[in-house]
């Protein structure tokens, strides 16, 4: 191979993934927000699993009557199935983040879009749990009210139905707003820091 062949091979070399030292320093700055996302996600997974177990013991902690235990656990079993589906996906995302090394632009882009995708997955998880949480809340309130008065679920008057509608509507609205704030506070602001690094690399 003569000099021209060597020069031609050099010119044809793909340099898209070559990272200059200055760019490498910028890419490395994304490690700090990424570490915070990893830490928050790890804590989140632990708290979510503990919460599922605690909810499972609610009938015994609150002395539910025997006739309410079976319906509670039927609803709870569906709740657990939904939790397992999403928590496994979030755990796999956490494992990917642990194996991520931000050394190239491609790594940074892939990690950023993976974070954004899983932020939406987390929101979907929250919205999927909202109906269960509302039903648990309504059932719990009905049980507590029936202990103190003659109100029972089989004998509903208009004022009780109105109050029930308001409770459900406010609960769903509150959970939706709380979920948006939660995702932004623990993940969104760090994702924006990584996006800022990506934008700087384009300049």
pLDDT in tens, 184-200: 999 998 899 888 888 87
Comparison of pLDDT for 168 and 160, the residue scoring more: 168
Q: Which ranges constitute the DSSP H helices of the chain?
A: 3-11, 21-28, 31-56, 58-61, 66-98, 105-148, 158-183, 189-202
First to last CA, the chain: 39
Distance from the Cα of residue 111 to its chain's centroid: 16
Two tokens, residue 3: 């000099």
User: Residue 141 pLDDT more than 80?
Assistant: no
Q: Return d(Cα 28, Cα 193) in angstroms, integer.
A: 12
Two tokens, residue 178: 């709380």
Phi and psi torsions of 50, nearest 5°: -60, -40
**103 and 27 Cβ atoms separated by less than 8 Å:** yes
What's the whole-number mean pLDDT along residues 136-143?
74
**190 and 33 Cβ atoms separated by less than 8 Å:** yes
33-47 pLDDT tens trace: 888 999 999 999 999
What's the whole-number mean pLDDT along residues 107-127?
90
Alpha-carbon distances, residue 87 vs 45, 57, 83, 96, 162 (angstroms): 7, 20, 6, 14, 35
Comparison of pLDDT for 201 and 47, the residue scoring more: 47
Query: According to the model, what pLDDT value does residue 149 have?
Result: 53
Query: According to the model, what pLDDT value does residue 160 have?
Result: 66
User: Residue 12 pLDDT more than 80?
Assistant: no
């Amino acid at each position: 191979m003569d000099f021209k062949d060597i020069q031609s091979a050099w010119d044809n070399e793909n340099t898209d993934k070559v990272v200059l030292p200055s760019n490498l320093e910028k890419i490395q700055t994304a490690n700090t927000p990424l570490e915070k996302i990893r830490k928050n996600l790890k804590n989140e997974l632990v708290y979510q699993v503990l919460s599922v177990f605690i909810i499972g013991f609610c009938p015994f902690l609150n002395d539910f009557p025997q006739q309410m235990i079976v319906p509670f656990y039927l609803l709870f079993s569906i709740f657990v199935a939904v939790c397992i589906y999403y928590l496994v996906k979030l755990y796999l995302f956490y494992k990917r983040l642990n194996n991520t090394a931000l050394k190239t632009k491609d790594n940074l882009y892939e990690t950023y879009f993976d974070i954004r995708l899983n932020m939406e997955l987390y929101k979907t998880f929250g919205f999927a749990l909202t109906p269960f949480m509302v039903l648990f809340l309504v059932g719990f309130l009905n049980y507590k009210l029936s202990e103190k008065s003659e109100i029972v679920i089989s004998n509903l008057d208009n004022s009780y139905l109105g109050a029930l509608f308001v409770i459900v509507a406010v609960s769903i609205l509150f959970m939706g707003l709380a979920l948006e704030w939660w995702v932004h506070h623990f993940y969104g602001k760090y994702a924006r820091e990584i996006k800022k690094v990506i934008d700087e690399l384009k300049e």
